[in-house]
Amino acid sequence: MAKKIVIIGAGVSGLTSAMLLSRDKDYSITVVAKHMPGDLDAMYASPIAGANYLPMSDRENSQYEARTLPELQRLASHVPEAGIHHQRARLYRREADMPTLRQGSNGFNGMFLENPWYQEVVNNFVELEVTPEMTAAGIAGGCEFDSVCINTPVYLSWLVGKCRANGVVFKRGSVKSLADARRWWSSSEKAFAEAKEKGEEGPADIVLNMTGLGALKLGGVMDQAMVPMRGQVVVVRNVAPVMFGTSGTDDDDEELTYGMTRAVGGGTVLGGTYQRGNWDSQPDAATALRIMQRSIDTVPELLNGTGKKDITGLEIIRHAVGFRPYREGGVRIEKEKMPDGSWVVHNYGHSGWGYQGSYGCAEKVVALVKEVSRDKAKL
Ligand SMILES: Cc1cc2nc3c(=O)[nH]c(=O)nc-3n(C[C@H](O)[C@H](O)[C@H](O)COP(=O)(O)OP(=O)(O)OC[C@H]3O[C@@H](n4cnc5c(N)ncnc54)[C@H](O)[C@@H]3O)c2cc1C
């Protein structure tokens, strides 16, 4: 009989795991989540992200990001409905940030390193030649490479569609605890309603915890290592010729400058902030002004065709805030046996790299689910 699985969470982690697992007819999967694609809420990081592929790990922890790139490239080349396109990325390392970058202690770890590990996996990587203009602007160096940019609302909906085609059931709900999660399984919405009526819903064999920052409050997890890493962005109609990122700013240690034009008319996301432990879910007007100013300073082509030379040339679609699900000590992907003998597989705490590591992490989840399924079969 197929193993009954409940996945808590419909962000990129839960949906990628659901899609990969649902290819195997040995599993019958229900996804339950407070937030679903279509919602905008700071606690739901996935739709707020740009998102692009700018690796953040160091070489030692690069397996998830290294493994994910080929799949994102394949989708960009061959699956237009996934909402991903190829884009060139340009990163600048500022002279002022070099000491912290060399210690690897600026929170983005590998992204701005000289000679990064990822030059071995991306295409057409080049170190930038430092021009007198760059030196005058305080830029010590940088690089360019072929990357991808994901229109996240389109991509999340595409993932839901792939899951539905494979028979995954979706339910909206707040799960109180890992134990509570097991009762959310059902073979269909209708079967769930009928079983609930009779008090017979669930239970699942295996629970997958993909709750992002929600792991801080979820009963049975309550992971105190989880911290919001607040990201504020401005989404505009203007187009950037490249994706860009700068290692720091003169404005604030917890701000950075980046931008990317999403595929399929998704607008251009300008960032941003990286504010640790900041729970403010509302956009701050002064921060937004700084983000826009730095963006046009870095890529003046954003104003092409507007006839303007300042931020009034940026046509704003919306302001947004999302909490990156940061975890002290790194991502948690592991299995855990519950006191009643049932299994939980965790996959949360991806901070700012949830998309660019999504396939690597979901493949590990699949391997762990296979392991615990075997164990369960023995019991
Ligand atoms: C501004 C910004 C820019 C970013 N840019 C990038 C980028 O360029 N590239 C990149 O790879 N990543 C980027 N990220 C990071 C990326 O968005 C996250 O790492 C990723 O979305 C995390 O996905 P997740 O599925 O683990 O969590 P989330 O997307 O937060 O989803 C969590 C899910 O769990 C559900 N949930 C939580 N608790 C419960 C509960 N008790 N009961 C039921 N459901 C629950 C939620 O409702 C939600 O469905 C960015 C993030 C932000 C905010």
- Which residues does the chain have with pLDDT short of 50? 378-379
Ligand 1: centre distance to CA 185 (Å): 22
216-249 per-position pLDDT tens digit: 999 999 999 999 999 999 999 999 999 999 999 9
Which sign, positive or negative, has the C-alpha torsion 42, 43, 47, 48?
positive
* Ligand 1 contact via 229 beta carbon (within 6 Å): no
* Ligand 1 contact via 10 beta carbon (within 6 Å): yes
* Ligand 1 contact via 352 beta carbon (within 6 Å): yes
Please name the helix (run of DSSP H) or strand (run of DSSP E) that holds residue 207, with its range, or none.
strand 206-209
| Three-state DSSP class for residue 190 | helix
> Do the annotations mark residue 211 as ligand-binding?
yes
Instruction: For residue 259, list its beta bridge partners.
Output: 244, 270
HSE-up of residue 99 (Cα within 13 Å, Cβ side) = 1
* Ligand 1 contact via 113 beta carbon (within 6 Å): no
Q: Which amino acid is at 80?
A: P
**Domain architecture of the chain: domains with CATH:** 3-47+154-225+329-378 (3.40.50.720), 86-148+226-327 (3.30.9.10)
Q: Name the burial class of residue 140, with classes exposed (0-12), middle (13-18) and buried (19+) by CB atoms within 10 angstroms of its CB.
A: middle
96-143 per-position pLDDT tens digit: 988 887 776 555 667 888 889 999 999 999 999 999 999 999 999 999
Ligand 1: centre distance to CA 366 (Å): 19
Asked if residue 152 lies in contact with residue 51, where contact means CB atoms within 8 angstroms, the answer is yes
The two structure tokens encoding residue 98: 């070099």
Q: Among all chains, which residue has been given the structure tokens 């105190």? A: 224
Give the number of residues written for the chain: 379
pLDDT of residue 107: 56
* Ligand 1 contact via 233 beta carbon (within 6 Å): yes
Q: Are β-strands 84-94 and 243-246 bridged in parallel, bridged antiparallel, or unpaired?
A: parallel
pLDDT of residue 374: 87
pLDDT of residue 59: 86
pLDDT of residue 375: 78
- Taking CA atoms, 72 is separated from 76, 121, 148, 301, in Å, by 6, 12, 7, 27
Could you give the CA distance from residue 281 to residue 194 in angstroms, rounded to a whole number? 38
**Rg of the chain's alpha carbons, rounded to an integer?**
21
- Give the mean pLDDT of the chain: 93
pLDDT of residue 279: 98
| Three-state DSSP class for residue 214 | helix
3-state SS, 24-59, equals CCCEEEEEEECCCCCCCCCCCHHHHCCCECCCCCCH
Residue whose CA lies nearest to ligand 1 atom number 8: 51
| Three-state DSSP class for residue 91 | strand
From first CA to last CA, the distance across the chain in angstroms is 15
Cis upstream peptide for 99 (omega within 30°): no
Q: What angle do CA 25, 30, 33 make, to 5 degrees?
A: 150
* Ligand 1 contact via 356 beta carbon (within 6 Å): yes
Give the closest residue to 50 by CA, choosing from 213, 209, 210, 256. 256
3-state SS, 323-379, equals EEEEECCCCEEEEEECCCCCEEEEEECCCCCCCCCHHHHHHHHHHHHHHHHHHHHHC
The two structure tokens encoding residue 339: 């006191």
pLDDT of residue 379: 45
* Ligand 1 contact via 34 beta carbon (within 6 Å): yes
Ligand 1: centre distance to CA 324 (Å): 7
The DSSP line for 113-144 is -SS-GGGGTSEEEEEPPPPHHHHHTTEEEEEE
Ligand 1: centre distance to CA 322 (Å): 8
HSE-up of residue 370 (Cα within 13 Å, Cβ side) = 12
Ligand 1: centre distance to CA 12 (Å): 7
